[in-house]
């Protein structure tokens, strides 16, 4: 005979049930990527070294939502928490993400905070044409968005998208941290070199829009802080408030440290034996 006694956890207030679950949840990005196999052996003299984080192909977003299948009460209590703490990973490079999200309710989409998607040339072309919000979905508000380079025998030419990527960064909203993860992919021109060129063009474009644009000053919607991890082979842009308008001399003094840091990073770059930029991948 089936027991009619309620589960002990259901006897607790909803706030306590949520608190218990929060303590059991891992950090999203930490469980999606495998760490570098030999981080200590990474050679800074070889910026095209393929070691670094790699996407765990056995990871399943749905497995982290299985608790919602327990009962109606769990679904009611935990849907927002689990959707907001789960790293959703999209490896399908053919189906646009908005179409994949059509199976979800609007409240579930609004709860999503972490998305990682595998990117080939098609995804990069779509990405740089977002108008203002990730995937052109205004209701999608992300804490982390990770662009994971597609790992194959083909080569990536990300320098083809540098200028458009900088324009996107100036207008992109609803993303707190934007990651680019090499994922062991082949990158022509070197992954770190592309990062340096992005940062350099961000600074150059910002100065031009503020002081040289005839219609200026044109301020960015978001200012970003940047960080490169050599061992993990990833870099990120972290969203900050737009920088206020100041005189050009004060502005140059304020970005002096950023420029000097960029120059130090560029000093260690290797010469690219094949610097040709092409649309897409070879």
pLDDT tens-digit readout, 115-151: 999 999 999 999 999 999 999 999 999 999 999 999 9
pLDDT tens-digit readout, 59-106: 888 877 766 656 676 677 778 888 888 899 999 988 989 999 988 999
Spatial separation of the C-alpha atoms in residues 135 and 148, rounded to whole Å: 15
Residue 241 CA to chain centroid, in angstroms? 18
| Residue 11: pLDDT over 90 | no
Nearest alpha carbon to residue 169 among 106, 98, 237, 82:
237
Paired residues of 186 in beta bridges? 155
Q: Tokens in use for 59?
A: 């990871």
Rounded to whole angstroms, what are the CA distances from 192 to 112, 225, 233, 271?
30, 16, 8, 12
């Amino acid at each position: 005979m089936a027991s009619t006694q309620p589960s002990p956890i259901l006897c607790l207030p909803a706030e306590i049930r949520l608190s218990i679950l929060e303590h059991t949840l891992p950090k999203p990005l930490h469980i999606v990527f495998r760490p570098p196999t030999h981080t200590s052996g990474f050679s800074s003299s070889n910026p095209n070294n393929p070691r670094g984080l790699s996407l765990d192909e056995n990871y399943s977003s749905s497995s982290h939502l299985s608790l919602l299948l327990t009962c109606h009460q769990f679904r009611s209590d935990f849907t927002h928490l689990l959707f907001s703490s789960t790293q959703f990973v999209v490896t399908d490079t053919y189906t646009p993400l908005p179409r994949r999200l059509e199976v979800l309710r609007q409240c579930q989409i609004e709860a999503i905070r972490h998305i990682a998607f595998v990117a080939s040339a098609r995804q990069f072309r779509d990405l740089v044409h977002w108008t203002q919000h990730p995937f052109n979905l205004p209701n999608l508000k992300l804490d982390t968005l990770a662009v994971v380079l597609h790992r194959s025998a083909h080569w990536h030419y990300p320098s083809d998208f540098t200028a458009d990527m900088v324009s996107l960064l100036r207008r992109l909203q609803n993303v707190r941290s934007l990651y680019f993860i090499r994922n062991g992919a082949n990158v022509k021109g070197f992954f770190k070199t592309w990062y340096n060129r992005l940062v350099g063009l961000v600074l150059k474009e910002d100065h031009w829009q503020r002081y040289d644009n005839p219609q200026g000053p044109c301020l960015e919607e978001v200012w970003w802080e940047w960080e490169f991890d050599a061992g993990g082979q990833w870099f990120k842009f972290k969203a900050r408030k737009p920088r206020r308008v100041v005189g050009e001399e004060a502005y140059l003094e304020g970005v002096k440290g950023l420029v000097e840091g960029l120059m130090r990073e560029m000093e260690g770059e290797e010469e690219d034996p094949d610097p040709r930029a092409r649309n897409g991948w070879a």
